Amino acid sequence: MNIKELLNRSDQFLAEKGIESSRLDAEVLMADLLDMERINLYVKYDYPLKSNEIDTYREMIKKRAQRLPVAYITEKKEFMSLEFMVKEGVLIPRPETENLVETVIEYCREQEIENPQIIDVGTGSGAIAVSLAHYLDDAKVVGVDLSPEAIKVARQNMEKHELSERMSILKSDLLSEFIKREIKGIDIVVSNPPYISEAEMEDLAPEVKKEPKTALKAGEDGLEYYRRLIPEAEKVLKNEGRIFLEIGYQQAEAVTDLFGEKWTEVEVEKDYSKNDRIVSALFKPDAEA
């Protein structure tokens, strides 16, 4: 059987299982199997597949039919034009989160912050932390997470991109370890925390439900982690340090209301789909209420 024949069969099989991106997924998995760019499949349609390649590919397609995300099958995901390893038990980086990273990079450059000290809270695969360290070549970045699986994957991604000299991955429940060690003077706290409410969890796509619930679910109203993180950030940020938070598209007002009198310049930014996506604020403990 050649590439074209197996792709066509797999496309049809996935479509029958309700996978809307059946053709794309079939091609991505085939390209991963053969270690080639997806576009190269078109010029090698007649390439005869070996029996072991066919068997391996069928197992991949079977997993996709069971709604396992493609990234978990290939164990990789592109983010900010960088390749990240991902595994089950770790949140898959989302395209909209690139807006968060780009906003932080732009802020550091506009403010001409030298050697910015950045903490990425809930680092997961390390996508945000690694991307910031990669594109801000003088930044010192710490990614924190409570999940042993996430910490392991984040460290592997840090090493993959050769950033160990300016990066570290630390086990911490939000910023608790920094507070315990009385670490202060941080320039930026950034986070894409869990922000899905209990009711919204029920409506998630089957693929998303395969991802770790601890990286998605945030209490009854989806605000649990913002309520904890903002006060904790006050204990580690320097005067006029800034926090950047990814939010759900309907959460802007609720999240901005959580900032008290120690914060100013509370801003909401939209993502490329024109949805509210980022809330940022300047920590200014001497600011007037």
* CB-based contact 64:20 (threshold 8 Å): no
**Would the annotation count 192 as a binding residue?**
yes
Whether 124 has a binding-site annotation, put simply, is: yes
What are the C-alpha distances in Å from 111 to residues 114, 141, 175, 242, 278? 9, 18, 24, 11, 18
CA–CA separation, 186 and 237 (whole Å): 4
Residue 122 annotated in ligand binding: yes
193 belongs to an annotated ligand binding site: yes
- Residue 123: other Cβ atoms inside 10 A: 32
123 is in an annotated binding site: yes
CB 223 within 8 A of CB 258: yes
Is 195 labeled as ligand-binding? yes
- Angle in degrees, CA 74, 77, 79, rounded to 5: 170
As to burial, measured by CB atoms within 10 angstroms (0-12 exposed, 13-18 middle, 19+ buried), residue 188 is buried
Binding-site residues for S-adenosyl-L-methionine, in ranges, read 122-126, 145, 192
Binding-site residues for substrate, in ranges, read 192-195
Binding-site residues, in ranges, read 122-126, 145, 192-195
